[in-house]
Amino acid sequence: MNDKDIIYSDQLTNIQNRFALMEYLEKILHGNVFLINIDNFSNINSAYGFELGDKVLIEISKLINIAKPLSCQLFRLNSDEFVLVNEIDMTKKELEDVASSLISFFDQMEIEVSDDIDIRISISIGIATGSCSEVLNHAKVAIKELREYKRGSYRIFDSKSTFIKKQQENIYWIHKIKVAFMEENLIAFYQPIINNKTKKIEKFESLVRIYDNGVLIPPVRFLEASKITGTLTLVTRTIIQKSFEMFRNKDYDFSINITSTDFHLNYLEEYLLKYSKKYDINPSRVVLEILEDITTLDAPGILEQLNSLRANGFKIAIDDFGSLSSNFSRLLEFSPDYLKIDGSFIKNILTDNKSLIIVEAIVLLCKKSGIKTVAEFVHSKEVQVRVEELGIDYSQGYYFSEPQAELVTL
């Protein structure tokens, strides 16, 4: 084997490697790229060790060579990714047929790696057509989009897909988030929560906005980018600071949205107590709203943190209950102080009988469990009347007020 063979050959599988692939793509005018990813390959390494994992990769490379079209060249991109490339003009149907054939082939195949171990694998395939290294990047995007929904299938790159638009928006907002922190353009807004018995404002929910070129941007536009940049806890910390400052010397309770990231970093108790002391605010006035997917409470340390926060006097609310994987038995075990009924049910409560039934069930459960209920998205007088008839304790929505930078009065 000469020096060139060593440079362009994968040492494990003896097929062409990443360097050979990149050189090849730079030379062709048009190519079809099939990026093959082994689903959950890390599980094989974890269960059986890297030595056996390497044997599996060697066998996979041999099987791809058997199953691939004769027109395709095979490359190993990295640990569990292989690439097939040809230069033939292919229709969408022909591209799909190649991918389907490969997936079906591996679905029916067992890989024998030792006398007592046979392994079945599945593959996902990202497909793109074009030239140069860009076509490989497009295939990577296609497989990333596929993985958002399922595995063991294929997807052809589409520059107009919703996924691509979302990625482009994230790039835009990643920049905006950084600017917002630098220029202190992260703003707290407050929406009133009405006690349905007294008809008075009893609490406010603290909400975040970004001030961008004279326009106020809601969190649905930028929180995904905030997760990507690792600034999500900075958003929470900022809202905590601004909320405690706003509600000092006032009689209202207030709630703050808390993310799973905040719990994983385990800073909340110390941080909240610090600002409670600084602004002389009793923790009993502070409600921490967590997402309704309460199965996440099983994650190590989170339930302990919540119990400790409650022991210090802070109250807990489950937000958007009903929108995700509601677990009623888990809810009873945790027994929060408040449960906020997802707005998608409340806004349709007059026209959708299913929404009404769900809300009735939630209210009944909470009354029997001593949990106060809050109706979100109350947008009209008619909806508010129905909410009161159902015995929901609190209401929140545009019928009373949209979120404002200052506290509103009714």
Q: Where are the domains of the chain?
A: 3-159, 170-395
Residue 155: the pLDDT is 93
Residue 203: the pLDDT is 97
3-class secondary structure, 199: coil
Q: How many CB atoms lie within 10 A of CB 380?
A: 13
Query: How many CA atoms lie less than 13 Å away from 193 in the CB half-sphere?
Result: 23
Residue 174: the pLDDT is 76
Q: Which two tokens stand for residue 358?
A: 């769900």
Assess contact for 375 and 350: CB atoms under 8 A.
no
Average pLDDT over residues 36-62: 90
Q: How many CB atoms lie within 10 A of CB 378?
A: 26
Of the pLDDT bands very low, low, confident and very high (cuts 50, 70, 90), residue 297 is low
Phi then psi for 19, rounded to 5 degrees? Answer: -60, -40
Residue 295: the pLDDT is 55
Average pLDDT over residues 391-402: 97
CATH topology of domain 3-159: Alpha-Beta Plaits (3.30.70)
Weakest-pLDDT range from 127-131, 174-178, 267-271: 174-178
Closest CA to 112 of 64, 47, 63, 76: 63
Residue 329: the pLDDT is 66
> What is the DSSP pairing of strand 372-375 with strand 154-156?
unpaired
Q: Which two tokens stand for residue 399?
A: 């019928």
Weakest-pLDDT range from 2-6, 114-118, 196-200, 372-376: 2-6
Rounded to the nearest angstrom, the gap between the alpha carbon of residue 335 and the centroid of all alpha carbons in its chain is 25
Compute the mean pLDDT over every residue in the chain, rounded to the nearest whole number: 89
Report helix angle 132-147 to 18-27, nearest 10.
Answer: 120
The answer to whether residue 78 scores a pLDDT higher than 60 is yes
Distances (CA, A) of 266 to 22, 258, 263, 357: 44, 12, 5, 38
The answer to whether residue 72 scores a pLDDT higher than 90 is yes
What is the rounded CA–CA span in Å between residue 296 and residue 193? 26
Cβ contacts of residue 385 below 8 Å, gap of 6+? none
What is the rounded CA–CA span in Å between residue 29 and residue 257? 52
What is the rounded end-to-end Cα distance, in angstroms, of the chain? 84
* Domains 3-159 and 170-395 in one fold: no
- Give the torsion through C-alpha atoms of 269, 260, 364, 335, to 10 deg: -40
Average pLDDT over residues 208-236: 81
Position with higher pLDDT, 222 vs 80: 80
Residue 239: the pLDDT is 94
DSSP H helical segments within 183-266, as ranges? 223-229, 232-247, 260-265
Compute and round to an integer the Cα radius of gyration of the chain: 28
Which tens digits make up the pLDDT trace of 126-135?
999 988 778 9
Weakest-pLDDT range from 113-117, 285-289, 330-334: 330-334
Residue 131: the pLDDT is 80
DSSP H helical segments within 41-109, as ranges? 41-48, 50-67, 92-107
Q: Which two tokens stand for residue 325?
A: 């994987």
Position with higher pLDDT, 178 vs 401: 401
Residue 354: the pLDDT is 92
Q: Which amino acid is at 176?
A: K
Which tens digits make up the pLDDT trace of 275-293?
999 999 999 999 999 875 5
Which tens digits make up the pLDDT trace of 214-227?
788 887 777 777 87
Which tens digits make up the pLDDT trace of 93-109?
999 999 999 999 999 88
Distances (CA, A) of 74 to 78, 132, 251: 13, 16, 70
397: left (phi > 0), else alpha (psi -120 to 50), else beta? left
Phi then psi for 350, rounded to 5 degrees? Answer: -85, -20
- Give the torsion through C-alpha atoms of 47, 48, 50, 54, to 10 deg: -120
Residue 173: the pLDDT is 76
Query: How many CA atoms lie less than 13 Å away from 309 in the CB half-sphere?
Result: 29
The answer to whether residue 32 scores a pLDDT higher than 80 is yes
DSSP H helical segments within 78-212, as ranges? 92-107, 132-147, 162-182
Q: Which amino acid is at 285?
A: R
What is the rounded CA–CA span in Å between residue 343 and residue 192? 15
Residue 330: the pLDDT is 66
Residue 234: the pLDDT is 87
- 170-395 domain in CATH 3.20.20.450? yes
Closest CA to 345 of 371, 367, 368, 374: 374
Position with higher pLDDT, 256 vs 410: 256
The answer to whether residue 296 scores a pLDDT higher than 90 is no
Burial class (CB in 10 A: 0-12, 13-18, 19+), 226: buried
Average pLDDT over residues 5-30: 89
Weakest-pLDDT range from 307-316, 319-328, 344-353: 319-328
Residue 257: the pLDDT is 93
The answer to whether residue 4 scores a pLDDT higher than 70 is no
Residue with tokens 């009133």: 192
Residue with tokens 């190590």: 300
Residue 81: the pLDDT is 95
Average pLDDT over residues 125-151: 89
Of the pLDDT bands very low, low, confident and very high (cuts 50, 70, 90), residue 136 is very high
pTM (2 d.p.): 0.68
